[in-house]
Amino acid sequence: MFFQSIDFGIFFVIVFFVFWLTYRRPELRKYILLGSSYLFFGYWNWFFALLLLLCSAFTLFAGNLIRSAESK
C-alpha cells in the first residue's frame, strides 16, 4: 500500500475516525494503532506484519524484564 494510493486514503480515513471515536478510552487507542500498523504492513507483504509482531513481542518482553528489575 503506497501513501499516494486510494487504498491508503480509505485506510487512513477509517483508522482516523475509529481512533477519533475512542477519545474517551485511551487504553483502547494504543491497540487500535497497533492493529492498524499490522494491517498496513501486512497489506503489502505478510512477512512485514510478522516481523512487526515479533519486534512488538520482543519489546514487550524486554520492557517487562526491565520493569521487574530490582536495581536501577
46: pLDDT strictly greater than 80: yes
Please, which pLDDT band fits residue 69 given cuts at 50, 70 and 90?
confident
Task: Confirm whether pTM is higher than 0.75.
Answer: no
Dist CA 42 CA 37 (whole Å): 8
pLDDT of residue 17: 95
Instruction: Output the average pLDDT for the chain.
Output: 89
Residue 45 has a pLDDT of 85
Q: How far is CA 11 from CA 5, 62, 65, in A?
A: 10, 31, 35
The pLDDT score that the predictor gives to residue 18 is 93
Confidence check: pLDDT of 1 > 80: no
